[in-house]
């Protein structure tokens, strides 16, 4: 078999572990510990099998109308994907030429680098400031122009949010497309959607997912909002039926029950504050999180050691080796009971 050279050289993205046993405390992939809206259960329980016999709406108009209504914009400004990961893949196809590059802050969502490798273009990481603070990205001066900048906000794995003004300023001076990846924005105090819906917006695309705040990681549904010409370009290069019928229907149900999502988010935010306070009390360094996870530096023992020891006890958190991230653990906020189990285990380990 002949495999393309760029693929032979490619390091694939490694998703967080999905242990088979349900008998674990799973705080490693930023899933929501609470169930999705009962409206989702209703759709699935009475699902009309005829909907599966036929192809789904290739441009998911009902779903786009609903999303557009939520954000006070028009369906022409909405694109939907099989998870926001697919939205990113389509964006890399639509907005980047073969002789250009993809950029992001560093550290950020580790898929971005792989995405550039799959697209066979260079990846240009731009270092953050002290304490993972905002530093205006370097997008010129590299061998190639950065055509697409992927800006996670709140950032992952750092949990820190950048202000809307700094994002707007950066986008204004950037000639390419900026995707503001707002996977975690429902857990934050503010977001950048108004930049995407603004009538004079030229290059800002804001991306959302149903995987976190809507408790639907298993569904695979993400979307983005942007200027009409950019969104139209994404439709040109997507797969024919990239969002299946069940995902379209379930997403409509979930997005019709924003109160349910907000109530779950409020619980997570409360647990987040309590967990962060307790870890800080024990001497850990925990930046102010605006997401559904903490990026925490243990007080006494190396993060890698604690990660392994927790894993041996059936408590899964995420560890990213490397100079910027290797002294911390990324801990998803679970239920109060989950966090109590974690804190009890850490009390024994972090001595």
- Indicate which single residue of 201, 209, 213, 292 sits in contact with ligand PMP (rule: CB under 6 A): 209
Q: Shortest Cβ distance from residue 294 to ligand PMP (Å)? A: 14
> Rounded to a whole number, what is the largest CA-CA distance in the chain?
59
Q: Shortest Cβ distance from residue 60 to ligand PMP (Å)? A: 15
Q: Which stretch binds ligand PMP (CB under 6 A): 163-171, 209-217, 254-262, 293-301?
A: 209-217
When asked if residue 181 is in the footprint of ligand PMP (CB under 6 A), the reply is: yes
Helical H segments across the chain, by residue range? 5-8, 38-45, 50-53, 61-71, 84-95, 111-119, 164-173, 193-197, 228-237, 245-255, 258-281, 303-312, 336-349
Q: Which two tokens stand for residue 160?
A: 């820190």
Q: Which is nearer to ligand PMP, 85 or 350 (CB)?
A: 85
Nearest-CB residue for ligand PMP: 83
When asked if residue 109 is in the footprint of ligand PMP (CB under 6 A), the reply is: yes
Kindly list the strands in the beta sheet with 146-152, ordered across the sheet, starting from the edge strand earlier in the chain. 78-81, 222-225, 204-209, 177-181, 146-152, 101-106, 123-127
When asked if residue 84 is in the footprint of ligand PMP (CB under 6 A), the reply is: yes
- Contact between residue 95 and residue 145 where contact means Cβ atoms under 8 Å apart: no
When asked if residue 183 is in the footprint of ligand PMP (CB under 6 A), the reply is: yes
Beta pairing class for 222-225 and 315-316: unpaired
Q: Which is nearer to ligand PMP, 126 or 345 (CB)?
A: 126
The whole-angstrom separation of Cα 109 and Cα 93 is 19
Q: Shortest Cβ distance from residue 265 to ligand PMP (Å)? A: 16
| SS3 assignment, position 124 | strand
When asked if residue 102 is in the footprint of ligand PMP (CB under 6 A), the reply is: no
Q: Is the dihedral of CA 322, 325, 326, 330 positive or negative?
A: negative
Beta pairing class for 222-225 and 204-209: antiparallel
When asked if residue 191 is in the footprint of ligand PMP (CB under 6 A), the reply is: no
Q: Shortest Cβ distance from residue 1 to ligand PMP (Å)? A: 29
Q: Which stretch binds ligand PMP (CB under 6 A): 35-43, 81-89, 254-262, 278-286?
A: 81-89
Q: Shortest Cβ distance from residue 214 to ligand PMP (Å)? A: 10
Chain residues in the site for ligand PMP (CB under 6 A): 83-85, 109, 152, 156, 181, 183, 209, 211, 217, 222
């Amino acid at each position: 078999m002949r495999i393309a050279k760029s693929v032979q050289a490619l390091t694939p993205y490694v998703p967080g572990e999905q242990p088979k046993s349900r008998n674990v405390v799973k705080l490693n992939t930023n899933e929501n510990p609470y169930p999705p809206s009962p409206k989702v259960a209703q759709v699935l329980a009475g699902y009309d099998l005829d909907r599966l016999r036929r192809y789904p709406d290739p441009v998911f108009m009902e779903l786009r109308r609903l999303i557009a209504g939520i954000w006070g914009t028009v369906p022409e400004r909405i694109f939907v994907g099989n998870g926001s990961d697919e939205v990113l893949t389509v964006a890399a196809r639509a907005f980047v030429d073969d002789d250009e590059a993809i950029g992001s802050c560093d550290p950020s969502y580790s898929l971005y680098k792989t995405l550039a490798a799959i697209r066979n273009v260079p990846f240009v990481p731009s270092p953050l400031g002290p304490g993972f603070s905002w530093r205006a990205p370097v997008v010129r001066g590299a061998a190639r122009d950065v055509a697409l900048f992927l800006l996670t906000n709140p950032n992952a794995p750092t949990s820190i949010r950048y202000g809307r003004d700094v994002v707007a300023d950066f986008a204004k001076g950037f000639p390419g497309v900026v995707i503001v990846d707002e996977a975690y924005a429902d857990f934050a105090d503010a977001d950048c959607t108004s930049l995407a819906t603004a009538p004079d917006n030229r290059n800002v695309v804001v991306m959302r997912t149903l995987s976190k705040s809507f408790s639907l990681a298993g569904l695979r549904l993400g979307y983005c909002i942007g200027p009409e010409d950019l969104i139209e370009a994404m439709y040109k290069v997507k797969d024919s039926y990239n969002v299946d019928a069940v995902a379209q229907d379930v997403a409509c149900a979930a997005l019709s029950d924003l109160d349910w999502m907000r109530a779950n988010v409020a619980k997570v935010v409360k647990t987040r504050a309590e967990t962060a306070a307790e870890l800080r009390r024990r001497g850990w360094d925990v930046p102010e999180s605006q997401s559904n996870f903490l990026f925490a530096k243990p007080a006494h023992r190396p993060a890698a050691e604690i990660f392994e020891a927790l894993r041996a006890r059936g408590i899964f958190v995420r560890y990213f080796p490397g100079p910027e991230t290797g002294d911390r653990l990324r801990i998803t906020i679970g239920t109060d009971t989950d966090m109590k189990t974690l804190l009890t285990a850490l009390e024994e380990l972090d001595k």
